[in-house]
């Protein structure tokens, strides 16, 4: 999990001044850093060659890269809506209120990024219980 300097708090806490899901719960998914997974073969498992060197495939790791769409965190889906925090602020038009919004918090309807909703509309929809009817 990425730590924001200088407070040494998780980066998603930068938006915790908002109400709702962002404040109440930690994200369900964290995509901040790529991570490595060790290969099933290691130098210890394969042993060493006669000259004392490890085989060429020993200790190999696989690197999982960041998401292409720039999503850093994702909260639990609420009905048809899924809240994400992206790396950079994006300017988009909220499909519910129709206003242009510049924010790092984006609610997406049915995993279709053409239907983006601003966080204030997302909070209003959640408060009214209309997550499945948007």
Surface-to-core class of residue 109, CB atoms within 10 Å of its CB (0-12 exposed, 13-18 middle, 19+ buried): buried
**Would you place residue 20 in the very low, low, confident or very high pLDDT band (cuts 50, 70, 90)?**
low
Q: What is the mean pLDDT of the chain?
A: 73
Surface-to-core class of residue 125, CB atoms within 10 Å of its CB (0-12 exposed, 13-18 middle, 19+ buried): buried
pLDDT score, position 127: 87
**Would you place residue 71 in the very low, low, confident or very high pLDDT band (cuts 50, 70, 90)?**
confident
Please answer whether residues 122 and 20 qualify as being in contact, where contact means their C-beta atoms are separated by less than 8 angstroms.
yes
Strands 71-74, 29-30: pairing is antiparallel
pLDDT score, position 69: 79
* pTM of the complete model beyond 0.75: no
Report whether pLDDT(121) > 70. Answer: yes
DSSP H or E stretch at residue 93: strand 81-93
What's the mean pLDDT in 105-122?
92
Any idea where the domains of the chain sit in the sequence? 3-31+66-133
HSE value, Cβ hemisphere, 13 Å, CA-based, for 60: 9
Q: Where are the alpha helices (DSSP H) in the chain?
A: 21-24, 43-46, 119-128
**Over the stretch 75-99, which tens digit does the pLDDT of each residue have?**
889 899 999 999 889 899 999 999 9
Higher pLDDT, 13 or 39: 13
Lowest mean pLDDT among 10-14, 22-26, 36-40, 109-113: 36-40
């Amino acid at each position: 999990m990425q730590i924001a300097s200088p407070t040494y708090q998780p980066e998603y806490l930068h938006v915790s001044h908002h109400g709702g899901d962002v404040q109440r719960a930690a994200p369900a998914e964290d995509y901040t850093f790529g991570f490595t997974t060790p290969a099933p073969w290691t130098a210890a498992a394969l042993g060493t060659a006669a000259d004392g060197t490890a085989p060429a495939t020993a200790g190999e790791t696989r690197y999982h890269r960041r998401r292409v769409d720039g999503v850093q965190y994702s909260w639990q889906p609420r009905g048809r809506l899924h809240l994400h925090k992206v790396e950079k602020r994006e300017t988009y038009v909220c499909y519910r209120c129709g206003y242009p919004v510049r924010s790092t918090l984006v609610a997406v309807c049915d995993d279709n990024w053409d239907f983006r909703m601003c966080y204030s509309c997302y909070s209003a929809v959640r408060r009214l219980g209309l997550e499945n009817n948007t």
